[in-house]
Structure formats: structure tokens, C-alpha cells
Amino acid sequence: MSYPSEPRSLWPEGRGVIKSTHNSLLKEIRKLHNSKGRREQQLFLLEGTHLLEEACAVGHPLATVCCTPQWQEQHQELWERAAKLADRTELVSARVLESIATTVEPDGVLATAHRTATAPPQLSTLGIALETIQDPGNLGAIVRTAAAANADGLLLSANSADLDSPKVLRASAGAWFKLPMAICTDLTAEVSRYQSQGMQILAAVPDANLTYWEVDLRVPTLIVLGNEGSGLSAGLIKKADRQIQIPLSRGVESLNLSIASALILYEAQRQKKLGFGELGIGKEF
């Protein structure tokens, strides 16, 4: 993929700041607030300096970058990097930026990014697969945790929340660009493919006989978690080599999905550092 060597619009003489909220470009950007607009335009929103920094760090192709004059003056280096990746750049008033953002107080910049085709990630040691995840905040938090726990990648069933929705991107805190991810139309088939490559498949279910720390997670492992309310489908549970659970105190029905995933992912890291079955007391993690 090639990018323009110079930004197409760095304000030729006479070009001003967009101040009207009825501008046609802004109308198209607002459509990206919902799933239909993102699907039709094959674009998604990046809101804020941090997400733009992470996108630029990996050279993700951008469609449009909109910022206030004040932001541009304060972030000249980032602005120039983003402009080289973008098809279009625009200066906008603070009022206009607020009208196209999903956040209450945007920090001065918003970009639209191209959706790109991604191959299933190469999972060699640790991966996570999510089925029918509906809460974008949970999904973004899991992306962030998986990246922090050094997972190889994440698989997401196609009937889940949009992986590139604004809430997911914000909750991921920039880790979205660090973790290889793929959306799977047939998650069970994809899990089977990794299983055939020698990965241990673990299904997290509330009534499993084993707790998550009783399984050796030092071997190549794919952790499979399901919907916040209904859990995993019968097909994925049947596919698993083992079922694991997180024990809960009496009267507590469940844990938040992002917390559950964090416990298992970091148990895998603990075992790799300290050994399976070892408490690790007095050892450096």
C-alpha cells in the first residue's frame, strides 16, 4: 500500500477553518458514529491525540484528519506524521469538532481511518477467542488486557460488537493497534484450525470441574470466552480440550468479562515466569 509523500492540503493560501457544522464532510463523519455508516464507508473514527499517535506509530492509513488550529500548533510533529498518512486534512473550529465527536470534550483532533483486511493472527503461545461479545467497553478492555499480557492475538465472532466502534477504541487505550486481531464469520471453524496446529483449547464455563490455575498454561493455549449473559455456545464448549472456571463466593453469579479474561491471561503469564503449580513466593515476576 502506498501513501502520498506530501499531505494533500496543508492550507494553501486563502483556505480557512471550517466553522459550519453543516459541511458535507462533517455529515459523512457523523455517519461513522454507527455501525451502518462504518460498514458503508469502510472507515472508523479515531478520537483524541493518543489514538492518533498509536495509529501513526504503525502507519495505519487515514482518510481525514480534522483538528483545531490550537491543537495543530501544539502538536506540529504529530500533525505532520498524520498528514502524510491521510487522504485529506482540515482545520476546524472547536464547535465543529464537538459536533463530529462522540466524546463530550474532544481534545482537539479527530481522524477517520480506513478499515483494512487482516489475516487471522499467528498464535504460537497464547491467544484469546471471544464469542458474541455485546458490550463494547468490555471488548475494548479485553483488547487492552490481552496486549498487556503479551497475547499473540485475538479472535472475535462476527456477531459481536463492532471491533472498531468508538467505545471499543477508547476502552482499548491505544492497544487496539498493538494486538493482532481478526473477525471470524465461523469462530468454531477457526478455533478448530488452531487446535489442529497443536494449540490447547480452553473453554471458560461456570460449572467446569477445573479452576483456571489447575491447567498448564505454559503450552500453546487458546482461551475461549462467551457472551456476558449466555456464555459460550454448545459447539465451542464441545470443541474445547478442557473446560475451566473462575471460582466465586456464594451468592456471586459472575465476574465482568474483562476481569475474567484478565485473570486467565495473567495466570498464563505467571506460569510462564514461575512454573505450573508454583506459588512463586519470594520470586521476581
Q: What are the structural domains, with CATH classification, of the chain?
A: 24-114 (3.30.1330.30), 126-274 (3.40.1280.10)
- For residue 143, the tally of other CB atoms under 10 A from its CB is 30
Rounded Cα distance between 89 and 166, Å, is: 20
Phi, psi dihedrals of residue 203, rounded to the nearest 5° = -100, 125
Strand pairing report for 221-225 and 126-130: parallel
Q: How far is CA 214 from the centre of its chain?
A: 29
CA distance 180 to 269: 18
Range of weakest confidence among 104-108, 119-123, 250-254, 279-283: 279-283
d(CA 137, CA 170): 8
Q: What are phi and psi of 157, to 5 degrees?
A: -65, 145
Question: CA angle 167-184-236, nearest 5°?
Answer: 105
8 vs 276: which has the higher pLDDT: 276
pLDDT of residue 38 exceeding 90, the answer is: yes
More confident residue, 1 or 14: 14
Q: Residue 171: name the closest of 143, 199, 134, 208 by CA.
A: 143
Q: First CA to last CA across the chain, in angstroms?
A: 41
10 has a pLDDT exceeding 90: no
State the average pLDDT for the chain.
91
Q: What is the pLDDT of residues 238-260, one digit of tens each?
A: 999 999 999 988 878 778 999 99
Kindly tell me the burial class for residue 61, based on how many C-beta atoms sit within 10 Å of its own C-beta (0-12, 13-18, 19 or more).
middle
Instruction: Please report where in the chains the cell 462533517 appears, as a residue.
Output: 26
Residue 177 buriedness (CB in 10 A; 0-12 / 13-18 / 19+): buried
Confidence of residue 6 (pLDDT cuts 50, 70, 90): very low
Q: What is the 3-state secondary structure (H, E, C) of 205-274?
A: CCCCCEEHHHCCCCCCEEEEECECCCECCHHHHHHCCEEEECCCCCCCCCCCHHHHHHHHHHHHHHHHHH
Q: Yes or no: say if 144 and 214 are a contact pair by the CB < 8 Å rule.
A: no
49-58 pLDDT tens trace: 999 999 999 9
Reading the block at residue 103, the C-alpha cell is 466524546
Q: Does the pLDDT value for residue 266 go beyond 50?
A: yes
pTM (two decimals): 0.88
Cell of 31: 455517519
Angle between helices 76-85 and 49-57 (to 10 degrees): 60
pLDDT digits (tens, 9 = 90+) for 182-228: 999 999 999 999 999 999 999 999 989 999 999 999 999 999 999 88
Does residue 56 contact residue 81 with C-beta atoms inside 8 Å?
yes
The CA angle 270-134-247, to the nearest 5 degrees, is 40
